[in-house]
Structures are given as structure tokens and as C-alpha cells.
Amino acid sequence: MCGIVGFLGKRNASEVLVEGLSKLEYRGYDSAGVAILNHGDINVKKCKGRLRNLEEKLNVEPLEGNLGIGHTRWATHGEPSDVNSHPHCNGNETVSVVHNGIIENYLSIKEWLTSKGYEFLSDTDTEVIPNLVDYYYEGDLIDAVIKATRKMEGSYAIGVISEKEPDKIVAVRKDSPLIVGVGEDEYFIASDIPAVLNHTRNVYLLEDKEFVIMTRQGIKLVNEEKEEIKKEIYKVTWNADAAEKGGFEDFTIKEIHEQPKAVKDTMTSRIVEGEKIKLDKISLTKEHLDNIDKVYIVACGTAYHAGVVGKYVIEKLAGIPVEIDVASEFRYREPLMNDRTLLIVVSQSGETADTLAVLRDGKKKGCRVLAVTNVVGSSVSREAHDVLYTWAGPEIAVASTKAYVTQLIAMYTLALHLASLKEKLTVEDIEEIKKEMLELPKKIEKVIENKEEIQKFASKHYMERDMFFLGRGLDYAIAMEASLKLKELTYIHSEAYPGGELKHGPIALIEKGTVVISSLTQTALRDKMVSNIQEVATRGARVMAIAYEGDTEVEKSVEAVIYIPRTLDLLAPVLAIIPMQLLAYYTAVQKGLDVDKPRNLAKSVTVE
Ligand code: F6R
């Protein structure tokens, strides 16, 4: 996820662009840059770090010119660095491009262009775009951009400028957002409306493959065949603050709604039907794996909970025993790590102090370290031997939601990869799981659509003092995460127990009115879980169950059932956790709490 802007008018472009980018920092903030066209020359200023670094650079060396493009980056391909920052240019800097999205086939395009004499400086996927535009340029920028996009697979919103047509910006989107702002004698492009709201409330909301040709004479929208598109101007009536959240009340609910896309992005180019799983930053081989006799997964908080699912699925699919621990315990228990250990660390931020300490200790002791992280260029990603990035985009809300579900996807992907290295599953088995994984984004959308039932339950129970989560197998793994989410967002005391442990003590806490939440997605354990539900219901508990569509029998003993679409039991955590996230969210909203910034918590725990 990145933010792009473009400006054509009479004012200083770099000032307008930087101001626009400041409204898009929520989309990424590891580097920023602008490219300005002045007297037919493109001048680029870009640097790693927050936008203020770019501002300081521009204060020292201002850029003249009233046409340009700008970018704030959230790294996916290539770590945050000056050279990987956007805008990117072709070799002789006659074309400059800003891009949000992922060009999935960039490696093959890069090879193809290299064979034609093109050279590349960065590790990014984006750099192929200005070079493609240069390659196809035959006197008309829009033709070159259309041809370039025909070659590109994946998602993109791009802004393109060229020295050969110095009074023009060309832009287009596919599966990444892009809007056009129409001011008085000045025009804008942006990833999101807040970037233009200080200048205009008149915008075009672009659809996929609608091309923008912006000149001093005005704006023309065309399709791939260059036929003009007539579009209504959309008048923005809301304020910038709400718009940064995409119209959502807060980042938490926005990020919950972003989960289908985050899951899809994390699978992109890795899980493809009929193709082998591709993990570009993982060089772990069958030989490495044959030499490994122990696997640890170590993490904190929500990431630890994703690791619990990871343990289960790696053991089941790859047949390798896995131990899991929280980093703050693991590091002080003199763990038995050596050169026959595979250490998997999971961290959204990639900066969590305890997790990083475990990684460093593991490396010292000779372990092979594999990191699952969301932040490209983070300490964890730089120091591990292998990295599996989750592509959730920036997670702004303190309580993790979309990062967690992408960590689950990373765990499945890794388990399948290990299983195929170990030759534990047949190609058909792997294909079946991949096929079901590819269905998950749509199914998550369906679960989110069904939020009213959860809202109703939350509005009845938001004043509770305690809530309990029960589950067995993978349902217990997500019960732990659900319980953490409820604590964090609502300050309601909650505990997660394995269903089978109930009679060993916790059942003493159940009395008339106690709220119990339980999911029933593990077919082999379903009947046992139903018995546990009956045991608490008989003692007066008010139960909300999460069950597969069609499992109506469970309605008899519970106050509410939230149905989720059927999937493989192994993948069910990705769907079953969503109602529980929504329950925590709506309960917190009912209580009038600050959901994005719960008390006492920080997004990145960089101290012990
Ligand atoms: C809970 C939450 C935390 C983090 C934990 C680890 O919603 O976000 O429990 O999961 O602090 O953080 P990372 O994943 O950045 O290492």
C-alpha cells in the first residue's frame, strides 16, 4: 500500500504534492519522493524515511515547476532506501512514474527489457513501468502508457510524466484506488480524496482501466481504445479526517474491512492454481530441512496466536513437530537451539524487542531463522536468513486485525512449502488446499457483510464484566486471539480455555448470565464442543456460537449463532476470527471507547 499524488497548475508543484502526501501517510511512510517537470526537464527528489525528511531536503534544495507527481511508500519489493523510493525513472530520466500496487510479472518484464538493453537500479517492481513506457513511446504518451499496461499484470494506480510531453500527466488504475481532483485551472490525481480536499471538492472517482490525460486545457478520460469516457463529477461533502479512513468511523473497522484484500495480496503470486508455491525471499532447501530436527515458532501477542495456528498446520501438513512460545519467556528459558534448529519468528512490526532478541540469540547459536513480518526493511526482516512478508499494508489501529489474518495465510503458505519440500503431501492435496485458500477473500467478505447479528449481540452484552471463549483444536487457537482482542478493545476481562479443560476448573466461573463465545469449525471435535456448550448453557451461560452454514442444530442451546461459509477445517480460523474481531469492535464502540488507541497500549513494543 502506497500513496500517490499528481499536480498540474500554476502553483509550486512540490509544495502542493508534499501537502497532498501528508494526507496519505497512513498508506505508507517508509520513504517519499517527488518528480517535477520544469522547462522540459524532470527533476527527482526522494529519500528513505518519513515525509518530513523529503520536506527538509526540499527546503534546502527547492524544486521549481508547476507540474509533478509524488509518492509515499510502503515497501513491498525492495527494502526502504533512497534508490527504492518512488518516483522511478527510465535510464535516461525522460519518463518518471509513481505507482501504488504490485506488478506481479515484473521479473519477466525486467528480463525482457534487459535483453533489449535496458538497465535497472532498484529492487522494485515499479521500475519496469517507466522503462516500458519509454520502450513503447512513439510520439504519444497515452499510447505508450496503454501499451505498457497491456504488458503489466497485477494491481496498479500510476501517474506518469515525460520530458517529451512536458505539459501532461497520464494516469490509470487497476485494482488500486485513484481519483482525479478538478480545481480552478489546476488538476490533481491522488490515491485518496483527502490529498486534494484543501484545493477542491470536485473529483472523478476512476474505475479500473480508465485512463486520465491531464493537460493545461483540462482533463480527458479515455478507455483502452482511447474512446472518451463521460463521467459525473462527484462532490465531496465530508471532511478530510473521515476520508482518510475511507469513510469508516475509525482505522480498526477500516482494517477489518480490508482483510479480504490483505489476504488476497499475501497470496498474490505465491498461491497460484496449478503452479508450485513461490516464496521469493526464502532459500530454505530440502537439504536444510533434512538437517533440521527441531522447529520453534516464537512471537508476542497476536503474532504468537498466529504462531499457534502455525504449529498446528505445520505439524499436520508437513509432519514436522513444532514448539511454540512467547518471546519474553522463550529468551530466558535457555532454549535448546543449535544448527539443527529452524527458528520461525512472527512479528507484524518486525521491531518487537523480545522477538528480535530471540532471533539474534538463535542466529548466534547457529539456527536457521525465518521471519514472518509485515514491514519490509524492519530489523527482523534484515536480520533473518529467510523472510516471508505478509502484505497487509500499514496497520494503523493498535489492536491487530488484518495483520493477524495475513499471518495465518503466511503460516498456511509456509506449511504447504515445507510439506512439498518434505514430499509429505501429494500435488492433488496441495492443489485442493490452495484452491480453498483462493476462495477465502470472498468468504471473508461474506462474513463481514453479516455483521448485524454481531452488533445486536454486542449491544446486549457490552456492560458485561467477564466473557469466556471456548474452543478445541484450531478453534482454541483463535479463542486465544479473540479473547486478547476483547480485552484490548473493550477492557472486559476475558479468558480463553480449551473446551476439554472446562471441567478441570473454569466451569466454576460459569453462572447465570455468563457470556461464552465458542466456534465449532473443527468437524472431528464438533460434537465434543457442542457438549461443552450444553454444559455451560445448563448452568445459565448465554452463548454465542460461530458455526458453518447449515449447522443449525447448534441453535438449540445458544442465544445467537453466527454462520460462516464452509471451508477446509484447517483454514477455518481465517473466517471464524472475523465475527470475534467484530464482537470486540462493536462492544468497544457501544462503550464509547477509543478503539484505535486502547489505553496503555503501543503499536510497536520496542522495549522489553
Ligand atoms: C494485539 C497486538 C499485539 C502484537 C504484539 C506483537 O492486537 O497487536 O499483541 O501482536 O505486540 O507485535 P509484533 O507483531 O509487531 O511483533
264 residue type, one letter? K
Q: 538 and 517 in contact (C-beta within 8 Å)? A: no
Q: Cα of 603 to ligand 1 centre, how many Å? A: 7
Q: 60 and 17 in contact (C-beta within 8 Å)? A: no
Which residues contact residue 232 at a Cβ distance below 8 angstroms, ignoring those fewer than 6 apart?
none
Predicted pLDDT at 245: 84
Ligand 1 atom nearest the C-alpha of 398 is: 8
> Is residue 603 annotated as part of the catalytic site, yes or no?
yes
Q: Cα of 347 to ligand 1 centre, how many Å? A: 7
Residue 605 lies in a domain: no
Q: For residues 14 and 35, what is the distance between their CA atoms, to the nearest angstrom? A: 8
**426 and 540 in a common domain:** no
* 70, three cell numbers: 509524488
Q: For residues 240 and 97, what is the distance between their CA atoms, to the nearest angstrom? A: 26
DSSP 527-550: HHHHHHHHHHHHTT-EEEEEEETT
Q: Cα of 400 to ligand 1 centre, how many Å? A: 7
Domain boundary among 237, 259, 282: 237
Domain boundary among 215, 237, 259: 237
CATH number, domain containing residue 186:
3.60.20.10
Number of domains in the chain: 3
538 is in which domain, residue-wise?
450-590
DSSP 44-66: EEEEES-HHHHHHHHHHS----S
Neighbours of 324 (CB within 10 A): 22
Q: Of the listed 2, 47, 300, 367, which one is catalytic?
A: 2
Q: Cα of 299 to ligand 1 centre, how many Å? A: 8
Instruction: Pick the residue whose CA is nearest to atom 5 on ligand 1.
Output: 301
Burial group, residue 40, by CB count within 10 angstroms (0-12, 13-18, 19+): exposed
Q: Cα of 103 to ligand 1 centre, how many Å? A: 29
**309 and 232 in a common domain:** no
* 356, three cell numbers: 528480535
Residue 372 lies in a domain: yes
Instruction: Confirm or reject: Cβ of 303 under 6 Å from ligand 1.
Output: yes
Q: 301 and 325 in contact (C-beta within 8 Å)? A: no
Which DSSP state fits 247? T
CATH number, domain containing residue 397:
3.40.50.10490
Ligand 1 atom nearest the C-alpha of 399 is: 7
Ligand 1 atom nearest the C-alpha of 604 is: 15
Residue of 298, 348, 604 with the most ligand 1 atoms within 8 Å of its CB, for mutation = 348
**323 and 363 in a common domain:** yes
Residue 171 lies in a domain: yes
Predicted pLDDT at 491: 97
DSSP 120-176: --SS-STTHHHHHHHHH-SS-HHHHHHHHHHH--EEEEEEEEETTSTTEEEEEEEBS
DSSP 419-482: HHHTT-S-HHHHHHHHHHHHHHHHHHHHHHHTTHHHHHHHHHHTT-SEEEEEESTHHHHHHHHH
Instruction: Confirm or reject: Cβ of 300 under 6 Å from ligand 1.
Output: yes
Ligand 1 atom nearest the C-alpha of 380 is: 16
Q: For residues 386 and 343, what is the distance between their CA atoms, to the nearest angstrom? A: 10
Which residues contact residue 88 at a Cβ distance below 8 angstroms, ignoring those fewer than 6 apart?
96, 97, 99, 122, 124, 126, 127, 129, 130
Best CA proximity match to 539, nearest among 556, 522, 571, 514: 514
Residue 314 lies in a domain: yes
**429 and 298 in a common domain:** yes
Beta bridge partners of 562: 546
**277 and 221 in a common domain:** no
Predicted pLDDT at 341: 97
Ligand 1 atom nearest the C-alpha of 305 is: 10
**188 and 163 in a common domain:** yes
**550 and 503 in a common domain:** yes
Residue 607 lies in a domain: no
**215 and 253 in a common domain:** no
Instruction: Confirm or reject: Cβ of 301 under 6 Å from ligand 1.
Output: yes
Q: Cα of 567 to ligand 1 centre, how many Å? A: 27
Instruction: Confirm or reject: Cβ of 399 under 6 Å from ligand 1.
Output: yes
Q: Cα of 498 to ligand 1 centre, how many Å? A: 22
**pLDDT tens track for 545-595:** 999 999 999 999 899 999 999 999 999 999 999 999 999 999 999 999 999
Residue of 345, 351, 352 with the most ligand 1 atoms within 8 Å of its CB, for mutation = 352
Q: Cα of 605 to ligand 1 centre, how many Å? A: 8
Q: For residues 158 and 145, what is the distance between their CA atoms, to the nearest angstrom? A: 10
- Length of the chain in terms of residues written: 608
Q: 170 and 141 in contact (C-beta within 8 Å)? A: yes
> Is residue 446 annotated as part of the catalytic site, yes or no?
no
**413 and 266 in a common domain:** yes
Q: For residues 332 and 347, what is the distance between their CA atoms, to the nearest angstrom? A: 19
Residue 601 lies in a domain: no
**305 and 248 in a common domain:** yes
Which ranges of the chain have pLDDT less than 70? 241-243, 606-608
Instruction: Confirm or reject: Cβ of 302 under 6 Å from ligand 1.
Output: yes
Ligand 1 atom nearest the C-alpha of 404 is: 10
Instruction: List the strands of the sheet with 3-8, edge to edge.
Output: 41-48, 31-38, 67-73, 3-8, 187-190, 179-182, 202-205, 234-235
Burial group, residue 105, by CB count within 10 angstroms (0-12, 13-18, 19+): middle
Residue 599 lies in a domain: no
Q: 136 and 144 in contact (C-beta within 8 Å)? A: yes
Q: Of the listed 151, 365, 446, 603, which one is catalytic?
A: 603
The residue written with cell numbers 507484524 in the block is 348
Predicted pLDDT at 193: 85
Best CA proximity match to 4, nearest among 75, 101, 94: 101
Instruction: Confirm or reject: Cβ of 355 under 6 Å from ligand 1.
Output: yes
**99 and 61 in a common domain:** yes
Residue 608 lies in a domain: no
Instruction: Pick the residue whose CA is nearest to atom 10 on ligand 1.
Output: 302
Instruction: Confirm or reject: Cβ of 400 under 6 Å from ligand 1.
Output: yes
Q: Cα of 303 to ligand 1 centre, how many Å? A: 6
Q: 116 and 135 in contact (C-beta within 8 Å)? A: yes
Provide the pairing of β-strand 211-215 with 168-174.
antiparallel
Q: For residues 158 and 2, what is the distance between their CA atoms, to the nearest angstrom? A: 11
601 residue type, one letter? L
Instruction: Confirm or reject: Cβ of 347 under 6 Å from ligand 1.
Output: yes
**412 and 284 in a common domain:** yes
Domain boundary among 177, 206, 237: 237
Instruction: Pick the residue whose CA is nearest to atom 16 on ligand 1.
Output: 347
Neighbours of 255 (CB within 10 A): 25
DSSP 395-424: --SSS-SHHHHHHHHHHHHHHHHHHHHTT-
